[in-house]
Amino acid sequence: MKKYTEKIHASRLLKMLESENPCSWEVCPNNQGECNNSICVMCKKFIGCYAHFKCPCYELGKQEAIKRTWLALQRKGYI
């Protein structure tokens, strides 16, 4: 089984952000399945969101989560 890495996560985040409704809470880049507002540890670590119970889109709001994601992608050299 292939290890889920930050590079894979970044690739999936880019794909998600290019969709019509990014951060729709329906698809988590981590598992490519339903998010259900649950914790995505990789998303939280990637953008520096340390809320405890929900995904960053839910905890921060969609706009802030998307903004932080773009900035993190740039800072880490993925775009």
Does 35 have pLDDT greater than 60? no
The whole-angstrom separation of Cα 73 and Cα 10 is: 7
DSSP state letters, 55-67: -HHHHH-HHHHHH
Q: What is the mean pLDDT of the chain?
A: 77
Structure tokens at 76: 């880490």
Q: Higher confidence at residue 45 or residue 76?
A: 76
Tens digit of each residue's pLDDT (9 = 90 or more) over 46-73? 887 766 666 777 778 888 888 988 999 9
Partners of 33 in the β-ladder: 28
* pTM of the predicted structure, to 2 decimals: 0.76
